[in-house]
Structure formats: C-alpha cells, structure tokens
Chains A and B, each alone.
Chain A
C-alpha cells in the first residue's frame, strides 16, 4: 500500500480535519456524544454541516455513508444542496448517533430528509436514526432511498439495486427545491422522483485498496476489466476482456437504456406530460417491472415526452479526466444515435471508490422542473454554479 496517510486508523479523521481547514463555509463537528471518553463510531463520530444555521422554514437534507467516495458526501454540503452529512469509516456506514446529532443540528423545525444509498448497513443505521429522531427528538423525517445501479437486479433475491451516481442528482435537485422553501413531503417526493428516473452502471480497471486492508480487494490481470462494479471495491458482476472506450460506453449504456424509464416516448400512449412510469410500462416492449417496484416507494419516474437526460461520466478515483472525456465522447455519440438528448452533462470524479481505476455512467431522465432545479445556484466544495 502506498498512500499519503499518517496511520490507517486516523485516515478518515485526518482527512475530515483537512476538509474543515480547506472549507470555512462548512464545519466539521466531532465529539463524544455518548460520553464514554471515546469518539463515536465512524470518522471520529462526527458530522459535517453548513456553518450558517438552517434558515427558518427550510427543510434540511442530511446524507451520509461510508467514507472513501469523496467528494461524496461532504463535498456536496452547502447552499443549494445538503445541510449536513455523516461520514462513516471507509466503506462503512456511519452510526445512528451521528445521524441523529446531525438532524438535531440542522433541523429548523421544517423537518429533515435523509438521503440514503441502498446498502444494508446504511439502510439499517439510518432507519434506527429516523426512529430516534421521530420518537425521541420530535423531528419530522422523510427518507429517500437511492438505488440506481442496474448492475444489480432489484429482486427479493438480492439486497436490491445499489445507490451510486444518482445520489448526487437526488441531492442537487431536491436540495434546490428545499432552498426554495418547499415542504418536507414535496422535497422528499422530488428526491424519489429523481431516483426513479436515474440509472447507473460502472466498469473498473483495477480494484481499490482500503487503508485498513492495505492491499487491493481483488486482482485484475492487465487485459481484463471488472464489469458491473459498485463503489466499495467489491468485485463486479462479471469479468471480461478489456474493451475499447467505445465498447465500454456501449456496454454500460445498453444496460442503462434497457430500463423502462428511458423507453422511447413515442411508444407510450400517455402524452400528457405527466410523469407516470406505469403508463410507459404497459406499452413499451422493453418494460422492466422493477421500475414500478422501486424501493423508494410510490415515486413515479419521468416518463413522457422527449427523452432528455442529465448524463454523467464519473471517475472512480484513479482514472484521468482525459479518459473520462474519451468515454463521454462515446456517450454523446451513442445517445445521439438513440434519440436521447443530453440536456446537461457532468464529467469528473464525484462518487469515487478510493483509488479504483474505472468509470461509472449515470443517466437521469429529466423534465423541465427537474432541469430548472438542476440549474439553480449551488455552492459546495464539489459542485458550484449559478452564483
């Protein structure tokens, strides 16, 4: 293992301390809230919040998860996006006490939306935190579960699709709506709608090395790639011979575009403009019932009118930006050929997996409202525009 670190045990805490020093608009809260003389679980047991208190009446968005995905999540705290996040240890969910403390710190009385990536650990810990927040602290909580990774089948035989790149889009769009003063349920509903409209797929060229483990999670020969990986260094669905950037983009987009949310608008009878995934399902041959069974609940995906998307090519940590643009060029070509319009794009390292080489592809089908919220001002360490 070659990493810039002091000790593996202080990896997260040292990184957060640096984050705090670099970003004065944000505050890293650490501390021993359970009073046993030891910092609580996760990266020092703390949370990261906007330094400025939440405006009265504004719904607060709180996310979090294992560390190692930077800039997710702390890099998305700031005006127009998240209010607080709870970093866990590397690839390990934070603990309920962190989430509760974060919710108490940023709730203005208008309630808190938990944005949770669909992993067993994150779901269990946020569920416990929500019970504590509602039951003990009297905070109104809505949870938005993000599960966009099509490499995992959403069935009773798995833990369900993983939450990956769409997390950023949920946080940006729902965060913008919250900034405008929308109510708790509306903010959560928008988050669920973005999630239902977004799908991702990732391919890795190398495994990543966690500081605690010290060696790569798996070994990949020079001429092979891992297809359908997640963001925790776990192996993917299958291993294939290394392909060209064009072939990799096609493979990923084929998997994403097979999802019914991207079914051609011409195939649906519902031309009203109202988003209703079920209407698309009935009439499109490629329909996948998984969409209506979305784990987040009743939220309908965008599903009528021309197919306009936010397209993201995201680096997993050790892939140069130049390669990401090579991939985006192929994405642009493929989507043009399928009649899909790229309304907005994002190319860079946003949801990473430590030092994994590889890329993930996310498409989020958008309507005018979602697009307008995407364009709204945002001022965070990792996303900043419209100011």
Chain B
C-alpha cells in the first residue's frame, strides 16, 4: 500500500519524494564533512589520504548544483542523476566516477515524482551494478562494493518482508557498516590499496566506510529516531 511519504500508518514511510531526496543528499553532504578527517585517516593508511577531501568537495559542488532556486527536478531520478553528473564532473579520482555512476544509475530507474520500496530496490541494484561494471570489483576485494552489495541486499529483503523505507534503510545501514568493518582483515585486490599487498590487511576500506555513511544519511531522513 502506497500511502505517501508521511503515510497513514503514523510511522510508516512508503515513498521517497523529491524533498526527502534533497534532504538525503543534504545529509550526505553533512556526513562527509563531519567524517572528512576519519575518511582521510583511513585513506592515509592504505591509499593517498584524499578520500575525505574529495567527497567533501564533491558534495559541496552537488549542494551548489541542486540548491539553486531555479533548480526544480520533476522526478526523484532527475535529482539523483544531477547528483551523479556533478560528482563525475567535479570529484576526479576513482570515487567521482564510481559514486557518480551509481547515482546516475539510480536516477535512470526512478522516473516518477515519488519512488516506492520496490522501485528503490531496483534502483539500488542498478547502482550496485554500475559500480561493479565500472570498477570491476566484486565482494571481498576490499572496496565500496563490500558495503554496497550487502546494503542493497538488506534493503530489498526488508522491503520484501513488508518493512517500510525507514526499516529498509536501517537494515541497509547495519549491513553496510558490517560490510565496511569486515573489510579490515581483507587484502585489497582493487584500487590504490592493492599496491600495498599484504600490508593493506588490518585497515578498514575508506570507500566502504563512505558508502555506509551514504546509507546512514538515507536512514536519518527516512526515520530520524533510528
């Protein structure tokens, strides 16, 4: 039953509308700013210490791009597509094209002013597929896929089980955070951390960590009390 974003069942949120999508992206921008140093520290250990700065710069550009008075997307997908294009055109590095392609893939799926759980599940799967296709990583390579894949699966399972978007988002956060933590003992096989060989073991992957932040931001706006 689609009851609108502030549905009849007091707490149930069954659709994601454009204002809530904007709020999600705002929350992501706040989160990558708040966690900038943490992401940078993680990246310094096994990469090149720029993940926090790059994402902060990217989402600041996104906020500029979607925050203007004149910008009025007609669908959730238009908004997320704009987020993706901005990340691709502003961030650089690997995270720009990867996150940018993921958001663009979400955008292509969500062609209505409001998206329900089923649409979002398909869109998130498309985002995961885009990241996998572009980066070539699979689960266990110590990349963002290790957080993204279980998060997408958990989101879909929660929706199938009758959960609302808030419940699905929280399940996705738990899965993404567990997936990010589980990257610690892994040896990196993709991206810059792979150059360290065995020395990449013992550090949590920064890309998986930022993926968990993006889902946490979604959960925050869908069900603030967690």
Contact = CB atoms under 8 A, between A and B. Distances in A.
Interface of A: 34, 36-38, 40-42, 66, 88-97, 119-121, 124-125, 128, 151-153, 156-159, 162, 210, 212-213, 217-218, 230, 232-238
Given A120-B191, A158-B189, A213-B40, A234 B196 contact: yes
Contacts of B94: 93, 119-121, 124
15 contacts: A34-B89, A41-B89, A89-B50, A124-B97, A124-B98, A125-B92, A125-B97, A128-B88, A158-B189, A159-B195, A212-B49, A212-B50, A213-B53, A237-B196, A237-B199
A234 B97 contact: no
Interface residues of B, number: 37
B152 to A, nearest CB: 21
Nearest to A151: B195
A89 B96 CA distance: 12
Contact of A213 (B44, B97, B134, B189): B44
A210 B49 contact: yes
A236 B46 CA distance: 10
B221 to A, nearest CB: 24
Nearest to B134: A124
Interface string B57-93: 1100100110000000000000000000010111111
Contact of A95 (B47, B64, B96): B96
Contact of A159 (B40, B49, B54, B190): B190
Contact of B195 (A95, A97, A210, A230): A230
Nearest to B36: A212
A157 B186 CA distance: 12
Given A36-B64, A120-B135, A212-B53, A234 B46 contact: yes
B194 interface: yes
A50 B98 CA distance: 32
Nearest to B86: A36
A232 B192 contact: yes
Nearest to B98: A124
Contacts of A236: 196
B48 interface: yes
B197 interface: yes
Contacts of B96: 41, 93, 95, 121, 125
A180 B49 CA distance: 42
B191 A92 contact: no
B48 A232 contact: yes
A119 B64 CA distance: 29
A125 B46 CA distance: 21
Interface in B188-211: 189-192, 194-197, 199
Given A157-B189, A157-B194, A234 B47 contact: yes
A41 B64 CA distance: 13
Residue with the greatest number of chain B CB neighbours at <10 A, chosen from A119, A159, A232:
A159
A273 to B, nearest CB: 36
B48 A88 contact: no
B195 A217 contact: no
A119 B192 contact: yes
Contacts of B192: 119-120, 159, 230, 232, 234
Contact of A124 (B44, B53, B135): B135
B194 A41 contact: no
Contacts of A88: 92-93
Given A92-B54, A95-B92, A37 B199 contact: no
Contacts of A238: 199
A96 B65 CA distance: 18
A120 B53 CA distance: 18
A95 B57 CA distance: 13
Given A121-B94, A237-B197, A96 B189 contact: no
A38 B48 contact: no
